[in-house]
A = this chain, B = another copy of it.
Amino acid sequence: MLKTLPCGKKQSTQAHSGSKNQDWKVLLDRYLKEKGLRATRPREHVAEVAMSRETHFDIQSLIKEVRAIHPEISPATVYRSVNTLCEAGILTETLQSQGGVTLYESALEDHHDHIICVDCGIIFEFHDATVEKAQQKAIESQGFEEIRHRHVVYARCTQPKRI
């Protein structure tokens, strides 16, 4: 499935085989049971909205979307739920927006790095095995063992584009 970006590029929306898209419910349930936590309505609603996002989002926008449907859910609950979802391993912090706000995205997507166009602001995802492998080697030669990484390239579209 392809989506046309403002810069004229096409980007996979990562609809994948469709299996992962429901996995989070299983994983979340398992995590909650393990920890003796509860599957409450507000918590599940935040999870539903968060996991339906296709790309990076910040908590403020999540709060807006959640409260548009369930105005009784407080911002504090959204913050608390997002933390729980991160601990459950189905969400991860990714980038920091220019304003320094933390952005999140599903932890169940395949790993990818990011290219941000400084002209049109679009966030493009890429994965390159050579880069990953070279990085792995470099890290190990320094005596470290990689856990995860965040690789963001600020760039400019070089192809004809329509801003």
**Measuring CB to CB, which residues of chain A are less than 8 angstroms from any residue of chain B?**
9, 96, 100-102, 115, 117-118, 124, 126, 128, 130-131, 134-135, 137-140, 142-159
Report the minimum CB–CB distance from A74 to chain B (whole Å): 21
Other-chain contact of A135, B117, B131, B137, B157 (Cβ < 8 Å): B131
* Number of identical monomers bound together in the oligomeric complex: 2
Q: How far is the CA of A152 from the CA of B137 in the complex (A)?
A: 15
Alpha-carbon distance A131/B148, docked complex (angstroms): 16
**B-side contacts of A146, CB under 8 Å:** 153-155
Tell me the minimal C-beta distance from A106 to chain B in angstroms: 18
In the complex where A100-B100, A134-B130, A145-B158 touch, is A153 in contact with B124 (Cβ < 8 A)? no
Q: Is the CB of A154 within 8 A of B143?
A: no
A151 neighbours in B (Cβ, 8 Å): 135, 149-152
Q: In the assembled complex, how far is the CB of residue A160 from the closest CB belonging to chain B, in whole angstroms?
A: 10
